[in-house]
Amino acid sequence: MRSRSGRLAARDGVVISFFIHHNHEEVTAAVWRALQLYLQAIPLKTLNWYVADDGDMVEFDDKGYEHHRKLMLECPWNGAWRIDLSESPSESGGYHFEYYGRRIGEPSWPYPSDPATAVAFTLPTEYLLEHGPDHLRALAFKLAWELPFSFGYASLAIIAPRGRWGTSDWDLLDTLRERYLGLDLYDVSDASLAIGTHARSASWLTFLGQPLLGQLGGIEGLRQALPFPEVSVLPLDSQRLLITLSEWPEAIDIQKGGIPPQYRALALRLEPFLYQERAGLTPRYEYTWLRRLSR
């Protein structure tokens, strides 16, 4: 999808995102380790640009890499609370990394003051088709292993760094959103200001940590709530869990069928624990978008 200026504002792919209810400085080392896993998994020299403090795009070369390493590991709070690594300086590529460090308990006026540190990794659809779903699930599992998340997910998505999909063709966006319920619209920066320890939605891969896992009945409670042959429930440890809802991520084209029952069942289970997204999505999306699979 292109913006009014003709630039590619959004494209198809997969997003893997985690929300971490810890202060930025407590998790920078873990996030840095996860970033190294992501960089090893994607083609060499794919992420070529980053957003500097003044908003300019700067080349992510060896010097830029070392700059970010020092900010994250040597002076985490006085350094980078945001990292934004892109494939292209002006358009939405398939590969993108976003990190937003937060201070838990700090007011986030004018937004809801329930923040969480957040991170997102994206991959183009071609990566999924080339490597297959098992490879992608293994990568998501490795990323999750490093992170003390409260909630996370992996889903087919409209990839748009910094919520840039909002600058694209709204008619086309509405058409895609209304037809393909498994296609995620995300804005990690805005979601991180409001999600706290809440859930976002049911997804192909849904990661649950505490306190959500306990609130949802624990590992055995979720196994009993999701008695579907397509579903696998895999603990990372006693406090974290991965739920896989299908072999491949589902676009959920409602013109070709209904919502798969396992997706609806998990969505209904999560519904009491969803947060109210306010910052990035327009009012017509606020309530209904996150509840699209349980309606």
- Number of structural domains (the chain) is 1
The two tokens of residue 27 are 């998790």
The answer to whether the CB of 267 falls within 8 A of the CB of 201 is yes
The DSSP letter of residue 97 is: E
Q: Kindly state whether residue 276 falls inside one of the protein's structural domains.
A: yes
- Domain range for 213 is 11-286
Q: What is the pLDDT of residue 162?
A: 63
Structure tokens at 22: 């810890």
Highest-scoring range by mean pLDDT, 132-146, 190-204, 273-287: 132-146
Q: Please report whether residue 294 resides in a domain.
A: no
| pLDDT, average across residues 111-116 | 74
pLDDT of 143 higher than 90: yes
Please state, in angstroms and rounded to a whole number, the distance separating the CA atoms of residues 292 and 285. Answer: 10
State the pLDDT at residue 207: 98
188 found inside a domain = yes
* Full-model pTM: 0.91
Q: Does 196 map to a domain?
A: yes
Per-residue pLDDT at 270 exceeds 80: yes
Dist CA 10 CA 162 (whole Å): 11
* The dihedral formed by the CA atoms of 10, 24, 244 and 128, expressed in degrees to the nearest 10: 40
Q: Is residue 60 a part of any domain in this protein?
A: yes
Q: Does a structural domain hold residue 1?
A: no
Does 279 have pLDDT greater than 50? Answer: no
Q: What is the mean pLDDT of residues 143-152?
A: 97
Determine, yes or no, domain membership for 292.
Answer: no
Cβ(201)–Cβ(293) under 8 Å?
A: yes
User: For residue 208, which of 190, 221, 227 has the smallest C-alpha distance?
Assistant: 221
